[in-house]
């Protein structure tokens, strides 16, 4: 179980780093090609990725605050996913790729929260 837990947290760490790098590139240089980009979403992704790094550390160290903060990250990602899905289904003014990416983020953080709960038992 410890290997699975470490793998999930490592995946979350890599995902956060990639979000910071790619999001920062888009914020600085602008989007590539004719992509639909919501500036608030890119800013959100970078900010949450930066916030998630210490949260991942706290979960890895099995601190009780890590469990609470991982639930906060999961809730935030889930709310943004629902907003993006609503925009996508009603107006189509958001890229399907963005909706899928937020669903993946939500799923990853659901696993991280699950691992934080199991580790505390």
This prediction has a pTM of 0.89
Other residues' Cβ atoms within 10 Å of the Cβ of residue 53 = 13
pLDDT tens-digit map of 22-57:
999 989 988 877 777 889 999 999 999 999 999 999
| Rounded Cα distance, 81 and 100, in Å | 8
Contacts 24+ apart (CB under 8 A), 23-32: 23/49
The answer, yes or no, to whether residue 69 has pLDDT greater than 70, is: yes
Other residues' Cβ atoms within 10 Å of the Cβ of residue 3 = 7
Mean pLDDT of the chain: 91
């Amino acid at each position: 179980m410890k290997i699975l837990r470490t793998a999930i947290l490592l995946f979350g760490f890599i995902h956060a780093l990639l979000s910071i790098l790619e999001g920062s590139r888009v914020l600085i240089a602008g989007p590539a090609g004719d992509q639909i980009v919501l500036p608030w979403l890119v800013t959100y992704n970078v900010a949450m990725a930066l916030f998630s790094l210490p949260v991942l550390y706290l979960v890895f160290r099995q601190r009780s605050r890590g469990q609470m903060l991982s639930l906060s990250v999961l809730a935030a990602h889930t709310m943004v996913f629902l907003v993006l899905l609503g925009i996508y289904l009603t107006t189509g003014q958001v890229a399907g790729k963005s909706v899928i990416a937020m669903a993946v983020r939500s799923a990853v953080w659901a696993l991280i929260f699950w691992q934080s709960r199991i580790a505390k038992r």
